[in-house]
Amino acid sequence: MSTIESTPLVPAQGIPPAGRSTAIESMDAYRALVAEAAQDHEAFWARLAREHLTWRRPFTQILNDRDAPFYKWFEDGELNASYNCLDRNLASGNANKTAIIFESDDGRVSTVTYQALYHRVCRLANALRARGVKKGDRVVIYLPMSVEGVVAMQACARIGAPHCVVFGGFSAKSLHERITNVGAVAIITADEQVRAGKTLPLKSIVDEALAMGGTDAVKTVVIYRRTGGRIPWIGGRDAWLHELENDQPDTCEPEWVSAEHPLFVLYTSGSTGAPKGVQHSTGGYLLWAAVTMKWTFDIKPDDVFWCTADIGWITGHTYICYGPTAVGATQVIFEGVPTYPNAGRFWDMIERHKVSIFYTAPTAIRSLIKSAEADRAVHPGSFDLSTLRILGTVGEPINPSAWNWYSEHVGGGKCPVLDTFWQTETGGHMITPLPGVTPLVPGSCTLPLPGIDAAIVDETGNEVPNGQGGVLVIRKPWPSMIRTVWGNPDRFRNGYYPEELGGNLYLAGDGAIRDADTGYFTITGRVDDVLNVSGHRMGTMEIESALSACPLVAEAAVVGRPDETFGEAIVAFVVLKGPRPTGTDVKRIADELRAWVGKEIGPIAKPKEIRFGDAMPKTRSGKVVRRMLRSVAKGEEVSQDTSTVENPQVIAQFADPA
């Protein structure tokens, strides 16, 4: 990836809709907001919280840092997230406005107004209550991309039951881990999921997960009938979503909760141990979802917004379920994948639905570039994309060549490309250009949003000068930050506010560098053992323990290798209990291990490459030499000194990819 130094500034681009200015209209306006926050951090956030959210009971306390880093925001204020996303729209004249344009995998389109969405959410909320789900109970959601996904999340929010959405690509075992860790009392799923014409039996996977034990608390499984495929049924526990909805009134008094009441728990990978449940609050989280829709995306009443993420990830939480609805936007929700029935699907959908703001992952862009270059029929230039005015990316660094292609061929050279940096833990955008305002640099996420006090420090927590790399930290707490790791406060404190940095800086886990002239940030990638594969976070340790659990495997080490399309590829080094495989056994066993990881975690964690050796290369003190393995994975000569390695001869064995 080229650095800021080698890439010229692209003048601020982006045309606000005719006759209107952007939410933050100039760099001066941006600087004024930054200054306002710097002058009185709490007053700044309090002003936003009063202006952007509707409170049942206004807050009188702003930040409570008595138990730092367990910060609390607007604690004595009361509100309801679903009220802010639905009822508020009915009151403000959006009742008949389209909330969701849904397109199924096979291209069928349906629309839902805010009024209809409100009634569906109320019915499901009533049904959940009728089944005994109450404030504070956790509900796991394992659904495909659908209107029902948003209905389910909002219904949970309406009754104050924190949801825990699990991505449909996770296996029964991963689902089980999350159900038990979060202590769910109900699950909302579908009979089947459909993607690229293929079905996946979600309900059967739920049954499999529930049969693994420790799930007695789960009394209800609600099933959305997506395909009508045959499913196993457990009487008393299982219920069809449409039947539950039919039986219920279409209004539902919201549960008014403290701003600090957990809105959801979302699991993400860390560098060690099992996935951690990132707990978000109701007030602070929703505030930033709404504000960033306006500041970053400059959302206007007639925009058509499309975020291509899955609701199983934070991007789908903030920029599908909560952000767009909190500001009364019309959005597209897509069930399928960008390459089905062909790689022109995104461009075709942008044309047909007149999308004006488009938000996707660099991996998607990179893979579509390849297809577009090979086949003019799926090239964005073959579609009318003139409705687009803002483009965004998220999830991983975007290389300047992909950025330029996106800008030129998708944006027609007139749309700003916003490289938005943030994380599951941050709730919403942290560092991002503002459309039409911030001069852009391909490959840089530019400047922190007002109120976000980002800095780059060395390993002891001291700020490094611009131009010198370090680790990214956020110095002051902000309302949409992670509150804790579900059930594991020590992991929250030690992982995010480490003592080595003084215990008062939020550690993002990414390396970063600021440009000497512009002060722009460029994210250089994770500094821990977290991989980013296609914009999905994967812990190397998780994959290692999945592999090690396989009866064939004696030992495994997993590293990432830079990958042109997917950002990083997973490379596994494996020592079998039996002899090192040769000939056709190499592929056979590698495939078996890949399938094993697919079952243990999910298809997204399957290693791209598996290499076998007689033993794991280790130092004399028994530590796996990961740095060397990373070089080996890249196909580099192992230049590091191998004299400290106990068994250097095995490195050559591993140099051979299976």
The binding site for ligand PRX (CB under 6 A) comprises 268, 314-315, 394-397, 419-424, 445, 508-510, 523, 526, 532, 537
Comparing CB distances to ligand PRX, the nearer of 157 and 523 is 523
Angle of helix 202-210 versus helix 172-182 axis, rounded to 10:
60
Comparing CB distances to ligand PRX, the nearer of 245 and 510 is 510
Q: By beta-carbon distance, which residue lies closest to ligand PRX?
A: 424
Whole-angstrom Cα distance, residue 423 to residue 649? Answer: 40
- Closest separation in Å from C-beta 307 to ligand PRX: 11
Cβ 417 vs Cβ 393: under 8 Å: yes
Comparing CB distances to ligand PRX, the nearer of 78 and 419 is 419
Comparing CB distances to ligand PRX, the nearer of 286 and 445 is 445
- Closest separation in Å from C-beta 43 to ligand PRX: 28
Q: Which two tokens stand for residue 533?
A: 């594969």
Comparing CB distances to ligand PRX, the nearer of 188 and 523 is 523
Comparing CB distances to ligand PRX, the nearer of 271 and 387 is 271
Name every residue whose Cβ is closer than 8 Å to that of residue 204 and which is 6 or more positions away in sequence. Answer: 231, 232
- Closest separation in Å from C-beta 527 to ligand PRX: 9
Whole-angstrom Cα distance, residue 78 to residue 7? Answer: 47
Whole-angstrom Cα distance, residue 274 to residue 538? Answer: 11
What is the residue-wise DSSP string for 390-456? EEEEESS---HHHHHHIIIIITTTTS-EEEEB--GGG-S--B-PPTTTSPB-TT--BSBPTT--EEE
- Closest separation in Å from C-beta 520 to ligand PRX: 12
- Closest separation in Å from C-beta 417 to ligand PRX: 11
Comparing CB distances to ligand PRX, the nearer of 1 and 68 is 1
Task: Report how far apart, in Å, the C-alpha atoms of 219 and of each of 134, 209, 597 are.
Answer: 13, 14, 30
- Closest separation in Å from C-beta 508 to ligand PRX: 6
> Token match 């976000």: residue?
452
Distance in angstroms between the alpha carbons of the first and the last residue of the chain: 28
Whole-angstrom Cα distance, residue 29 to residue 14? Answer: 17
Cβ 611 vs Cβ 656: under 8 Å: yes
What does the DSSP 8-state code read for residue 317?
Answer: I
446-469: b (≥16 Cβ within 10 Å) or e: bbbbbbbbbbbbeeebeebeeeeb
Comparing CB distances to ligand PRX, the nearer of 59 and 421 is 421
- Closest separation in Å from C-beta 359 to ligand PRX: 11
- Closest separation in Å from C-beta 268 to ligand PRX: 5
- Closest separation in Å from C-beta 309 to ligand PRX: 8
Q: Which two tokens stand for residue 486?
A: 């579900």
Comparing CB distances to ligand PRX, the nearer of 144 and 362 is 362
